[in-house]
């Protein structure tokens, strides 16, 4: 209220307009705008332009890095797939080689077993023949001994010969 009252009393209040003061404010504003336009605005515009360029370069650099990272990721995935394929191939080859080695060992064991069986059969056959020969020799000795005993007791040669032959035939059958 006091402002309105002061304006009504003729003093200088807020609502009073002083044209001289307004001209000085306008001139000062124009000079300020000219100085700002000539010196400050170009510097501000240059700084903004430089900042804009830096931001663009940063974005482009980030995009290039992202593309490169994606490419590296794809290459890594491809390398991983190739490594997996290679590992599976090596595993398969190892299994096949182990199976082949196992089959070879089984075959070799079978051959060795067959050789051992054949040697055992041969040895048994030889032992059997030797035992038969020894048995015949023993039978012959016993027959001669029996014959000599019989001859000593009976001097009939024909009976003795028949008896010895029958005895040898009986032993040969067994």
The pLDDT tens digits for 93-142 are 999 999 999 999 999 999 999 999 999 999 999 998 898 888 888 877 87
Confidence of residue 23 (pLDDT cuts 50, 70, 90): very high
As a whole number of angstroms, the distance between CA 39 and CA 45 comes to 11
As a whole number of angstroms, the distance between CA 133 and CA 141 comes to 12
Residues 6+ apart with CB under 8 A from 171: 135, 139
| Block residue for tokens 């040895």 | 123
> What's 89's DSSP letter?
H
**How do the domains of the chain map onto residue ranges?**
2-173
* Amino acid 77: pLDDT: 92
- Report yes or no: 160 and 142 within 8 Å, Cβ to Cβ: no
Q: Is the pLDDT of residue 144 over 90?
A: no
DSSP calls for 77-134 = HHHHHHHHHHHHHHHHHHHHHHHHHHHHHHHHHHHHHHHHHHHHHHHHHHHHHHHHHH
- Report yes or no: 137 and 162 within 8 Å, Cβ to Cβ: no
- Report yes or no: 127 and 106 within 8 Å, Cβ to Cβ: no
Handedness of CA 167, 169, 172, 174 (dihedral sign): negative
- Report yes or no: 139 and 171 within 8 Å, Cβ to Cβ: yes
Stretch 20-29: mean pLDDT: 92
> What's 40's DSSP letter?
I
* Amino acid 13: pLDDT: 65
Confidence of residue 150 (pLDDT cuts 50, 70, 90): low
C-alpha distances (whole Å) from 78 to each of 34, 75, 108, 142 are: 64, 5, 44, 94
């Amino acid at each position: 209220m006091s402002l309105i009252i002061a304006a009504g009393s003729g003093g200088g209040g807020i609502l009073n307009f002083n044209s001289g003061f307004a001209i000085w404010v306008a001139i000062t504003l124009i000079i300020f705008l000219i100085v700002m336009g000539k010196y400050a605005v170009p510097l501000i515009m240059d700084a903004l332009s430089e900042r804009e360029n830096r931001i663009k370069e940063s974005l482009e650099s980030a995009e290039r890095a992202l593309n490169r990272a994606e490419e590296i990721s794809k290459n890594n995935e491809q390398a991983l797939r190739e490594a997996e394929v290679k590992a599976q191939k090596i595993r398969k080859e190892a299994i096949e080689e182990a199976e082949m080695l196992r089959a070879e060992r089984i075959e070799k064991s079978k051959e060795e077993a067959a050789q051992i069986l054949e040697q055992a059969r041969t040895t048994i056959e030889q032992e059997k023949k030797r035992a038969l020969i020894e048995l015949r020799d023993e039978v012959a000795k016993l027959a001669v001994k029996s014959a000599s005993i019989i001859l000593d007791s009976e001097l009939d040669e024909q009976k003795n010969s028949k008896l010895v032959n029958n005895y040898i035939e009986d032993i040969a059958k067994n």
